[in-house]
Amino acid sequence: MLTPPAAAGAAPAGPQWHWVTAEPLTPEAFAPYGQVVGREAVQLETRGGEELTLDVLHHERRPFRIDHLNRHHLATQTLVPLHSRPACIVVGAPDLTFADPADLHELRAFLLDGSRGLNLAVGTWHEGPWPLLEDLDLVNLQGRDVTWRDNEVAHLERDFGVVVGVRL
* Domain extents in the chain: 22-167
Cβ contact 155:67 at 8 Å: yes
Predicted confidence at residue 157, as pLDDT, reads 97
Q: Where are the beta strands (DSSP E) in the chain?
A: 16-24, 34-37, 52-60, 68-71, 77-81, 87-92, 108-112, 117-120, 125-131, 135-143, 152-155, 162-167
Q: 110 vs 24, 79, 130, 161, CA distance in Å?
A: 6, 13, 10, 24
Please name the residues in contact with 157: beta carbons below 8 A apart, sequence gap of 6 or more.
15, 67, 68, 163
Predicted confidence at residue 39, as pLDDT, reads 85
Predicted confidence at residue 14, as pLDDT, reads 87
Predicted confidence at residue 148, as pLDDT, reads 84
Cβ contact 127:90 at 8 Å: yes
* Candidates 1.10.3720.10, 3.40.190.10, 3.20.20.80, 2.60.120.480; CATH matching 22-167: 2.60.120.480
pLDDT beneath 50, residues of the chain = 1-11
Predicted confidence at residue 12, as pLDDT, reads 52
